[in-house]
Every structure is written in C-alpha cells, then in structure tokens.
Amino acid sequence: MHGAAAHSEALFLFQIVLLVVVGRLLGELMVRIGQPSIMGQIIGGILLGPSVLGYFAPGIEAAIFPQIDAQKSMTEAVAQLGILFLLLLAGMETDLGLAMRLRRSAASISLAGIIVPFICGFALGEFMPQHLVPNPDQRIVTSLFMGTALAISSVKIVATVVREMDFLRRNIGQLIVASAIIDDTIGWVVIAFTFSLAKSGTVDFAAIATSVFGTLVFMVVSFTIGRRLVFEIIRITNDNFKSDLPVLSAIIAIMGAMAMLTDMIGVHTVLGAFVAGILVGESPILTRQIDTQLRGLTTALFMPVFFGLTGLKTDIGVLLQRDAMLMTLGLIVIASIGKFGGAFVGARLSGLSRAEALALGSGMNARGSTEVIIATIGLSVGVLNEQLFSAIVAMALVTTMAMPAMLRWALRRLPLREEEETRLMKEDFEAASFLNRFERPLLAVDLSAGSELAGRLAANFAQARGTPLTVLNIDAGEAAEDADAAKESPDLREKTESFATRLRERAIKPKENDGEDAIATSDIHVTTRLRDGAEVSDVLKDSAEKGHDLLFVGVDPVSSESGGFSRRVSRVVSAFASTVAIVVSREGRTPVTENDLRILIPVSDTERSIRAVEFGCALARPRGAAVAVIYILEPNEMQQRPRFGREESGHAAAFERIDEISAQTGVKITKTLQEGNSAEVAVLRHARRGRYNLLVVGVSRRAGERLSYGRIADTLLDTSDRSIVFLETEQA
C-alpha cells in the first residue's frame, strides 16, 4: 500500500513537471510567432494526450497518464485551483474604471457581440443531433453552455494582443478591452446560473430566483462594503505580519471565502474568484507587488497545468467523425461570424467609423482561456460530452490564433486623432512622472505646530494622488516617562486619532473659495500608528519595508540652535530608506492658512528641481493654490554644459519641462527668470514680494554624518521666514 502511494505521488510530480516544461517550451514558441502562450500550453496537452502520443504510442501515454480515478483526482485538484487563480488574475486585470468611462459604447458593442453569437450557439445546441447531447433531458443546459461559449471573448487574450501591439492606450484599444471586460463579467454570471441549473437538473424557477437574488446581493455587498474590507485586510496583514508573503496568503483566503460564498448561493465558485480579483486589483496599496507575486505563481504553475490538462482531455480523433467534424466547423463559423458581426453592428450603432468597427469585430473574436474554462466546467458537470468539449476547445484555438493577425491588419488602418494624441501625451507624462512611484505616503508627527502644516500638506498630496495616508506619531507622549509607558497612554492615542480625523474632514471637499481649479474627492483613507515602545529608527525601517514609499516629516524642532537640522530630524530622515519631504513650519511668522496656499519653487537645470515642481503641483491642485517658479541665472551658467543634454540654455530647457507639467496637471505656474549671485537671497526676496508662504525645494543629501542638503538649502533653513518643504530625491 505504501509502495503504491509512493508511486502515485512520484507519478503525480512527474505529470506536473512534464506539463509545466512542455507548456513552457511550446508557449515560448507561440509567443515568438506572435501567438498567446496558452495556445502552446493547450497544444502541449494535445500532443501528450490521446490525440498524438496516445495514437502513436498508447502504452507510453497510458503509463504517464493512467485512467485511474485516484491518480486523475490529484492533477484535477491542481486544475481546479488553476481555474480559481486564473479568474482571480483576470479580475485583477479588469479595469472597472475603463469600463465605466466607456460604458455606453462598450455596453452597446458588448451586448450586440454577446446576443448574436449566443442566440446562434443556443440554436445550434437545440437543433444538433441527439446523439451528440450528453443528456437529452438537459438539452437546454447544454444549449446555454454552447451559447455562452460562443458569445464571450477572452479579456486576457484580447488585452494581451492589444498590449503587445501598443494599442492598449489608443481609443479603439481601450474600447476593445472595455467591451471584453463587460463580456467576461456577463459571461461568468450566465455560467454561474447555468451551473446551478445543471446541478438541479430541471428548470427550477424558485432555485433560479434564489440564485439571481443571492448574486445581486453578493455583487452589491462586494462593491460597497467588500471593497473597503478587502483593502483593510490587505493593509492589516501587510502591516502586522512578519513572515514572508503574508499578503499573498490573505488574498488566497479572500478568494477562497468569496468562491465558497458564491457556491453557497447556488452559483459557481468562478464568480467569487473573479469578483475577488477585481476588489484586490482596486486596492490602493501594494498593487504592483501583489500582481507580481500572483502572476508568478499562476503563470509558472497553474496556467501550464490547467491548459495542459485541457489539451489532454481533447481528443482530436473524435472530431474526425462526420457529425463531430461538421459540428466543429459549424461552431467555428458561427462563433466567428456571430461575434464579428454582432460587435461590428454594435460599433456602427455607437457611431464608430467603418474602420473602427472592423477593428472591434476582429478584436472581440478571440476566445482562448475563457472558453476553455467554460468547456472544462461543462464537462465536469456532465452537460458537455467529450465530442462537444473537444469541438469547443478546437473553436477556441482557431479563433484565438486567427485574431492577432486580423487585429493587426485592422488597427494599422486607424489614424491617430487629435484628442487621442492629447490624451496619450498626458498618460505618457503620468507614467514617467516622479510622483507615479508613490502608492503609500507616511506622515511622521509629534503633534507639534510643525505637525499641523505637515498634516495639511500630506492630506493634499494623498487627495491629489488618490492614495491612503498613514499617520505615525513618533512622540512618546507627555504623560509617559519613557517609551514603554506610551503603550498605556490613552491620551496619546486619542490625540493621534483626533489629528487623523481632522485630516479626513479636511479632504472631504475644498472650501467654496478654494479656486475654480480645486478638485474634490469623497475622502482620503487615514490610519494611525504609535511607536508603542519601539525605537523610531526601527519603526521607520519597518514602515518602509511594509510599502510606505514617501515620508512627510512634521516634527519640532526642525533646526538645531547651532544651525542646520536637529538631531531628531536627522535620525528620522536617516532611518527611512526612500523619498523624504521635510516640512519646516514658520506658521508663527508667515502663516499658511487653510485657503491661502501660495507656493514658490526655486528651480535650476537639475532633475531634482523638476521633481520639486511636480511635487508642488500635487500639493497645490486640491486647493487650486497659486504656484510659481524662479530660476536664478548665475553669471557663469552660460559657460556650463547643459545638464538636460540639449543645445539650448539650461533655463529654457527647464521652463519647457515646467510648461509641460503645467499643461498636464492643470496647475497654472508663473515663471520668473532672475540674475543674481546669491540664489537664497533672491528666492526669499521674491517670496516676500509675491506673498508666497510656502517654499518647495528639491534637494539631494550631501555626504557626511550631519544631515545637509548644501549651502543654499542650509541657508534657507536658518534664515527663511516662510515655511519650507525640502523634497529629498536622488541626484539626477
């Protein structure tokens, strides 16, 4: 018994490794010839299965993949997990914002592209020969599966091909993907209902009504309470667990819980996994990290195993029979004409040109992974037999492999419109922006006067960028004699929570006189944290490791009595291994009032000063604040080599970059060019003359034990009567 078990486990491992290796090699080949990698994984399974290896060497095929229930159940378990992980990843790739922005056109195209092939597929299921139907008493369920398999596009395949062609950001590319997203979402709901119908065996209207109501409740709760709950689970897990990859475990638990919930309400687990993926993908933190971890696990293991097993179940030999061959050809023709024609008509009705409608029809005709998953579910519940399953897989292969060439041909015919070019320029700017790297700012405070200004600025930044904000109180508390006693200081916790509440309230909407360019968002997510007896350096190091990537420092004193930064600020800055913004408050001398923020940014021909302009615009935008830049032209500047690598002068290149930032962010920036030998004196004079109350200065750290950003920054710190933000970035 033990020997049989050991042999079974060894064979299972061999099967998994073989599917992964063959799938990877053939997938690589497909990618090199311009096809999706899953095509190679399915073909690999076909080569290892009864279609090829079983035909030429049946003994070897039977030895590698024996038809033993206990053995098959082991690989099937991995395949079932693969379905859930594939749907989780598909959900994460689903851009609901894109679907909502293009909802009218996308809905019209998607509905027309679903209804036409669905009716054709359903009719084919109703009129096909009875011997091809697994269970004649459940023909309607088989017909529903056939209709759905023909109607849905694979958003993963569509998005992959459009992205590879560099058309994902084009209007037509976004419309194709948005339509595929709606296709997928509707399709999984239909499959969930069809699955419940297959389980009951009859058209039980009470059961269907229960499933429909349960699904509606599930969807509403998921996209309201569930969205915030998933974010909190990710945040709490990430911030409190010390072991490796805790967030990945939390996401798997979320996926499993939501899949079991949909199973409990009588629909398939795939709907729960898909919705879980959407919610995880909308998390405002750690999205790149989560995507990398999940994509690695799914791509390396679950995809080649699942699609390889799909190929193993596909017997091309059964399709050589006359009825089955006609059925397969009919599926391919109906699927292609129905999907292309429906999407084409929907696009024309939406007001798109003939060339755009042609591209949409071509793009929506890819099935791939979605149809394979649907066919696998249908086979597992007995509403599809081996012939129908193989026919649907063949249809998915043919339509998917034909789609890239058709779409490339159609997209090359589309000109670039002016408004589209403007949008693409804005997206290029956002992608290259220094601010694009920040997902999770951290605000270090001690509840001093400096903390108030830092808090307002950090809230502005979080609001402008749509990121959550964490408030870290690094003070031990007045009531505590030492750091350990701060753990039992309810007063400190209450004060910190009160501080965070003020930040939330401030971000709900700008004041009426904040300016016509002010933006309004519903809220910012603010969480609080105390030192809890730990060293400040350890807390900040841990925060950086937990995904915090920008530190606002709002503590007093900022300066030391002998000049320069205080030891406290130096320790805080040194402990945080990422970008730092030190806020120096001069509220007692030149207040930065709630509704009168006026920002002045000294600039030069260095990258750090351009980054300071981007940062200043992010602080200004939520309140429609005034922003100005001043370039101090030193006498010897024209003899220096331009640092932007251009033939023109440094200030002209800098002003060109600043004009681009102004145009793309919508923040008006006043530019001043001034000659002078003392930059710091000229900056302060200009600030007083223009009534600017906040300086934003891009700096880079100088070597040495003492925290210093150079002569100009140190002089501004010691002499300025204006509040300052020193933005520490890498030296460009």
Tens digits of residue pLDDT in 455-501: 999 998 988 888 889 999 988 654 344 444 444 456 888 889 999 88
Q: Which residues pair with 67 in a beta bridge?
A: none
Q: Do 398 and 484 share a structural domain?
A: no
Q: Do 411 and 374 share a structural domain?
A: yes
Q: Residue 671 in 3-state DSSP? A: strand
Most confident of 249-263, 402-416, 639-653: 249-263
pLDDT digits (tens, 9 = 90+) for 658-694: 999 999 888 999 999 988 778 888 899 999 999 999 9
* Contact status, residue 443 vs residue 458, Cβ threshold 8 Å: yes
Which pLDDT value is given to residue 725? 96
Asked if residue 427 belongs to a domain, the reply is no
DSSP assignment string, 313-354: H--GGGGGSHHHHHHHHHHHHHHHHHHHHHHHHHHHHTT--H
Single out the residue in 415, 450, 466 at which a domain terminates.
Answer: 415
pLDDT digits (tens, 9 = 90+) for 52-108: 999 899 999 989 998 888 888 888 888 888 878 887 887 787 667 666 777 777 788
| Sheet strands side by side (includes 669-675) | 526-530, 469-473, 441-445, 550-554, 579-584, 723-728, 694-699, 598-603, 626-633, 669-675
* Contact status, residue 88 vs residue 375, Cβ threshold 8 Å: no
Percentage of residues in the chain with pLDDT exceeding 90? 22
- pLDDT band of residue 399 (cuts 50, 70, 90) is confident
Place of tokens 């789609």: 403
Which pLDDT value is given to residue 158? 72
* Contact status, residue 363 vs residue 403, Cβ threshold 8 Å: yes
Which pLDDT value is given to residue 469? 92
Between residues 208 and 712, the one the model is more confident about: 712
- CATH number of the domain to which 479 belongs: 3.40.50.12370
Asked if residue 680 belongs to a domain, the reply is yes
- Give Cβ neighbours of residue 537 (< 8 Å, ≥ 6 apart): 571, 574, 575
268: left (phi over 0), alpha (psi -120 to 50) or beta: beta
Is 306's pLDDT higher than 60? yes
Place of tokens 């693969």: 82
Average pLDDT score over residue span 528-537? 84
Distance CA 17, CA 7 (A): 15
Asked if residue 345 belongs to a domain, the reply is yes
Between residues 305 and 485, the one the model is more confident about: 305
pTM of the model: 0.71
- pLDDT band of residue 724 (cuts 50, 70, 90) is very high
Task: Say how many domains are in the chain.
Answer: 2
Q: Do 473 and 325 share a structural domain?
A: no
Asked if residue 576 belongs to a domain, the reply is yes
Asked if residue 423 belongs to a domain, the reply is no
Q: Do 471 and 325 share a structural domain?
A: no
* Contact status, residue 380 vs residue 389, Cβ threshold 8 Å: no
Q: Do 375 and 456 share a structural domain?
A: no
Q: Do 309 and 274 share a structural domain?
A: yes
Q: Do 183 and 80 share a structural domain?
A: yes
Single out the residue in 384, 415, 446 at which a domain terminates.
Answer: 415
- pLDDT band of residue 1 (cuts 50, 70, 90) is very low
Asked if residue 438 belongs to a domain, the reply is yes
Q: Do 473 and 352 share a structural domain?
A: no
- CATH number of the domain to which 233 belongs: 1.20.1530.20
Is 649's pLDDT higher than 90? no
Q: Do 693 and 549 share a structural domain?
A: yes
Distance CA 366, CA 363 (A): 7
Average pLDDT score over residue span 117-135? 84
Distance CA 289, CA 277 (A): 14
Q: Pull the structure tokens for residue 563.
A: 């000049």
Q: Do 239 and 164 share a structural domain?
A: yes
Single out the residue in 415, 448, 474 at which a domain terminates.
Answer: 415
Q: Do 396 and 371 share a structural domain?
A: yes
Asked if residue 426 belongs to a domain, the reply is no
Asked if residue 124 belongs to a domain, the reply is yes
Percentage of residues in the chain with pLDDT exceeding 70? 85
**Structural domain for 245, as ranges:** 2-415
Q: Pull the structure tokens for residue 611.
A: 């980054």
Q: Do 199 and 63 share a structural domain?
A: yes
